[in-house]
C-alpha cells in the first residue's frame, strides 16, 4: 500500500517547497499586500457587474405583438383652457376606412376655469395602419364661430407604460407640450412616427409599448368657403423597425472564470515581479561584496 502511495506522488504537479528553503523579504511582503488589495478591488468590481442587471437593445424588422389583433392602445390627456367641454370631441380616421366622429368610450371631460375650459382624458385603440386622430369641435351640435385650440398636452402614449430605470425612450415625447401662446384660431399638426418597442425581463416576460418621434406645425387653413374650423391633429404612421430591450445578467460560470483569471494572473505577475526584484537585489549585493574584497 505504501508503494502504491509513493507511485501516486509522481503525478503531483503542485510540488511543495520545504519552509526552511524559503526566504521572506520586505519587498515580497509589500508586493503581496499590494497584490491582495488589487485582487480585492477587481473582485468587488466583478461582483458589482455580476449582481447588476444589464439592459441590451437590438433592432429587427417584425411585428412583435401579433396577438394584439392589429390594434394599438392609446392614452391621451390634453387640456384646452379656452374651449367648453360640450364642444370638445375626439375623431378617429385611418386607411382601413375607419371614420369615427365624437369617440366617447373610455373618455372623460373635466371642466376647467369655471367651465370655460376642458381637460380631455381618453383611452382608445387605433389600427396598425397610417391614420390620424384629432381633437376638434366636429362632433358638437352647433359649431362655434371662433374655437380657441390653444392647449397643453399632458400625456400621449401608445401601448403598455414602461417605467424601467435603464430605458430612456421617447414613450411620451409630447408630454408637457405647451401651445397656450399660439394663435387661438390655428390648427396644429403633430406628425408621429411610431416605433414598436419590446421589453423582456429576466424571467422572459415581454411587455409591448411604442416610442414615437414627432414633428409639428401650426397653421390657419382656408378653403373657397372661408376659414376652416381649427383642430389638433395627430397623424401617425408605423415604423417597420422594432426596438427590443432585454434584461441580462452575467452567467455564474463566466463570473467564476473571471475571478479565477484575476487571482491567477495577479499572483503570476506579482511572482514574476518579486522574483525579478529579488534576483536584482541579490546580484547587487554580490557586486557590493566584490568591491569590498
Give me the tens of pLDDT residue by residue for the chain, a chain 293 residues long. Answer: 555 656 676 766 666 666 655 677 777 788 888 888 998 999 999 888 888 778 888 888 888 777 777 899 999 999 999 999 999 999 999 999 999 999 888 999 999 999 999 999 999 999 999 999 999 999 988 888 889 999 999 999 999 887 777 777 889 999 999 999 999 999 999 999 999 999 888 888 888 899 999 999 999 988 877 788 999 999 999 999 999 998 888 888 888 999 899 888 888 888 888 888 878 887 877 777 766 65
E strand intervals along the chain:
54-61, 71-80, 89-94, 99-100, 107-112, 117-127, 131-136, 152-159, 177-178, 187-200, 206-219, 222-223, 226-227, 232-238, 241-248
Q: What is the DSSP letter of 175?
A: T
Beta bridge partners of 91: 134
C-alpha span between 120 and 88 (Å, rounded): 8
Does 268 reside within a domain? no
Number of C-beta neighbours around residue 151 at 10 A: 24
Q: Which domain holds residue 187?
A: 62-240
Does 275 reside within a domain? no
C-alpha span between 233 and 213 (Å, rounded): 15
Q: Do residues 96 and 138 share a domain?
A: yes
Number of C-beta neighbours around residue 50 at 10 A: 16
Does 9 reside within a domain? no
Q: Do residues 118 and 152 share a domain?
A: yes
Amino acid at each position: 500500500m505504501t508503494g502504491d502511495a509513493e507511485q501516486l506522488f509522481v503525478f503531483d504537479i503542485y510540488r511543495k517547497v520545504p519552509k526552511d528553503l524559503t526566504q521572506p523579504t520586505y519587498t515580497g511582503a509589500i508586493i503581496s499586500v499590494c497584490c491582495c488589495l488589487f485582487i480585492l478591488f477587481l473582485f468587488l468590481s466583478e461582483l458589482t457587474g455580476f449582481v447588476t442587471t444589464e439592459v441590451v437593445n437590438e433592432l429587427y424588422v417584425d411585428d412583435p405583438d401579433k396577438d394584439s389583433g392589429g390594434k394599438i392602445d392609446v392614452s391621451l390627456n390634453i387640456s384646452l383652457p379656452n374651449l367648453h367641454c360640450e364642444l370638445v370631441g375626439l375623431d378617429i380616421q385611418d386607411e382601413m376606412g375607419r371614420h369615427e366622429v365624437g369617440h366617447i368610450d373610455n373618455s372623460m371631460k373635466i371642466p376647467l376655469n369655471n367651465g370655460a375650459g376642458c381637460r380631455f382624458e381618453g383611452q382608445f385603440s387605433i389600427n396598425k395602419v397610417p391614420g390620424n386622430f384629432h381633437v376638434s369641435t366636429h362632433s358638437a351640435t352647433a359649431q362655434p364661430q371662433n374655437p380657441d385650440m390653444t392647449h397643453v398636452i399632458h400625456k400621449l402614449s401608445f401601448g403598455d407604460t414602461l417605467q424601467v430605470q435603464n430605458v430612456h425612450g421617447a414613450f411620451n415625447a409630447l408630454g408637457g407640450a405647451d401651445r397656450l401662446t399660439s394663435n387661438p384660431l390655428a390648427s396644429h399638426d403633430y406628425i408621429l412616427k411610431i416605433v414598436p418597442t419590446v421589453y423582456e425581463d429576466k424571467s422572459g416576460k415581454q411587455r409591448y409599448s411604442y416610442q414615437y418621434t414627432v414633428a409639428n406645425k401650426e397653421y390657419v387653413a382656408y378653403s373657397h368657403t372661408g376659414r376652416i374650423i381649427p383642430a389638433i391633429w395627430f397623424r401617425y404612421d408605423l415604423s417597420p423597425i422594432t426596438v427590443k430591450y432585454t434584461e441580462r445578467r452575467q452567467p455564474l460560470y463566466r463570473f467564476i472564470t473571471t475571478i479565477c483569471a484575476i487571482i491567477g494572473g495577479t499572483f503570476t505577475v506579482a511572482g514574476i515581479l518579486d522574483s525579478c526584484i529579488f534576483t536584482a537585489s541579490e546580484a547587487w549585493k554580490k557586486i557590493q561584496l566584490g568591491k569590498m574584497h
